[in-house]
Structure 1
C-alpha cells in the first residue's frame, strides 16, 4: 500500500509499486550462464530495497539467450528471492511467447512481462491479438513491455486502450521515454499499473501516475532508487528530486563505453561477494580507460 505515491492499477492482482530492477543475467569466464551469480544478484537487489524483480528484460540480455537458458534464469530467480518475480517472456512470435509464459507460470513466477513483438512490423490489430493470446494462455498477470526504440513497434494510445480491456492484462512497463504518450496512457487506463522504464524519468514517472519504476541503476545501487521512491511516497518531493539528480549522474557514468556495459562494470566495483561476469557477444565489456573513468565518477558521488 502506498502513502502519497500513485496506486497500482485496479486490474493488477500483484499491486506492483516501488522499485523493480530488471535484473542481470550472469555469465562465467567461458560465457556460460552462471546460475549462482544470477541468483545472488537478484537476492542482492531485494535485500537492499527492491520491491520486485524483473529477470530477462533488456538488462538481462534476454535476446542473447537460447530458450533453455531463458527458462533456467526464470527458475533460478524464482528460487532466489522472497519478492514478486515478473519474468520476461517476450519473443517475436506469439507461439514462443506463450510457451515461455506457460513455463514461467509453471515454475512459480508471479507475473510475466511480454515485450512487443520485434523485428517484423506489427500493427495495432496484430498487437492486440498477440496480447490476447498470451493473456489467455496463463493465469498470472501479464504486463506489456513498450520499448519501440528497440522493437521497432510502437503501440498507439488507442491500441493500449484496447489491450487494457483484455482479461489478464495488468499493466505496462513503458520505456518509450515519450512523456506525453505515457501521461495520456495513464490518464486513459487507470485500471492498469504503469511502470516508468527509464532512469531519466523516475521522478517524472511518479509525478504523472506511475506506481513503480523499472530502474537499471537499481541493479547496481538499489538503495539509491529505493530511497528516491521512499522519499516520494512519504511526500518529500524535494528529496526525491534531489535523488533523481544523483540518478542522472549515475546513469551518465553507466552509459560510458559499449552499450549495456556500464551496469556490470559498476557491479564489479561494489563489494557484493559475487561476480556477474561480462556481456554475451556481440555485446562487449568496457576497456580499461572507460572502467577507470566510471570508477572515478562513482567514487566522486560517494557510491563506491
Structure 2
C-alpha cells in the first residue's frame, strides 16, 4: 500500500493514508447549506487524487450547523464519493449523547469511519474523556478516530489518557492538530497499532517523518493536486522534492491565513473557479484588499497559472 511513507496501524481496518482533506460545507448567499455544492467539493478533491475525505471537520464549519444540516452533508458526501475513497465523517459534539446520535446517523448513511473531536466548552478530566470515547465507540460498528485539537476544544489528552483509550476495541487512530511535535512523536511511538494523521499543513512532511500515515490538509481543499504531489513524492522516496513542496505549502498556508479565520480556503477555491459560497456567520469573508493580496500571492507561486480554473460539473 505504501512504499516509503509510514504504513497505517494494524488496528485501522480502513488503512487510512495519504491526503484526506477536511472538506468544506458550501453555503448559498443567504448562508443556507448548499448540499449539492458540498458534494461537488468532495468530488473536486477526489477527482484530483486524494485518498479519503473528512466532511464536518473544522473546515466543514461543523459547530455552526444544525443536526439536520450535518446529516444532509454526510448523506450527500457519501452519495457522491462513497465507495471510491474512505469517507470518515466528523460526529463530535459537546455532549456524549449528541455525539452518539451523530455517529449512529453517520453509520446508517454509509460512512466508513467516524472522527470524534474531544468534547468542547466544559473542561474534562481523563476519566470523562475515556468514558466519552467508550460510549461513542460502543454505539457503532465502525472504526473511530480521535480528533485532538486542544486549542479549539480546551481539552488536551495526556499521553497516559491515550493508554486508556487504546483499550477501546474499535478505536483505530488519531488526527492530531495540537502542533505539539514532542507529544505527537511520543504518541506514535507508544501506539504503533494506530493510524496517525497530521492535522496541520505546517507538519505534512514532518508528520510523515514522525510516523503519521497521512495528512488532513486544509490546503488540499483548494489545492489537492499540490498536497497529493507532496505525499506521492515522499512515498516514492523523493523526500527532497517532498520538502520543496512542503515549502510551497508553507507559503500557501501563510497566504490563506492573512484574512479572517478560515476565509482563505473558500476564497482560494473561488479563485480557481469553484465557488463554495460564504462562510457562515459569525465567520467572515475576506475583504476586497485581502482577496487581492491572496490572489497575488497565489499567482506569484505559480498556482493560478497551473491549476484547472473550471468548476466541476
Partner of 1:132: 134
Partner of 2:168: 166
Partner of 2:298: 298
> Structure 2: how far apart are the matches of 1:284 and 1:152?
23
Partner of 1:9: 9
Partner of 1:249: 251
Partner of 1:258: 260
Q: What per-residue deviation string (whole Å, max 9, x for no partner) do you get for residues 20-67 of structure 1?
A: 000000000111000111011000001101100000000000000000
Q: What per-residue deviation string (whole Å, max 9, x for no partner) do you get for residues 209-230 of structure 1?
A: 0000000000000000000000
> Structure 2: how far apart are the matches of 1:188 and 1:269?
43
> Structure 1: how far apart are the matches of 2:243 and 2:279?
32
> Structure 1: how far apart are the matches of 2:213 and 2:152?
24
Specify the SS of the correspondent of 2:303.
Answer: coil
Specify the SS of the correspondent of 1:180.
Answer: helix
Partner of 2:310: none
Q: What per-residue deviation string (whole Å, max 9, x for no partner) do you get for residues 150-184 of structure 1?
A: 00000000101211221110000000000000000
Partner of 2:67: 67
Partner of 1:218: 220
> Structure 2: how far apart are the matches of 1:17 and 1:226?
11
> Structure 1: how far apart are the matches of 2:49 and 2:218?
14
> Structure 2: how far apart are the matches of 1:298 and 1:105?
39
Specify the SS of the correspondent of 1:295.
Answer: helix
1:261-300 mapped onto 2 (5 Å cutoff): 261-272=263-274, 275-300=275-300
Partner of 2:311: none
> Structure 2: how far apart are the matches of 1:29 and 1:259?
19
**Equivalent residues, number:** 302
1:207 corresponds, among 206, 209, 231, to 209
Q: Does 1:23 align with 2:23?
A: yes
1:151 corresponds, among 153, 169, 190, to 153
1:184 corresponds, among 169, 183, 186, to 186
- Misfit runs of 4+, over 6 Å: none
Task: Give me the TM-score of the superposition, normalised by structure 2.
Answer: 0.96
Q: What per-residue deviation string (whole Å, max 9, x for no partner) do you get for residues 55-87 of structure 1?
A: 000000000000000010000100111211000
> Structure 2: how far apart are the matches of 1:58 and 1:164?
25
Specify the SS of the correspondent of 2:13.
Answer: coil
1:51-130 mapped onto 2 (5 Å cutoff): 51-81=51-81, 82-130=84-132
Unaligned runs of 5+ in 2: 305-313
> Structure 2: how far apart are the matches of 1:30 and 1:176?
33
When the two chains are superposed, the root-mean-square deviation of aligned CA atoms in Å is 0.6
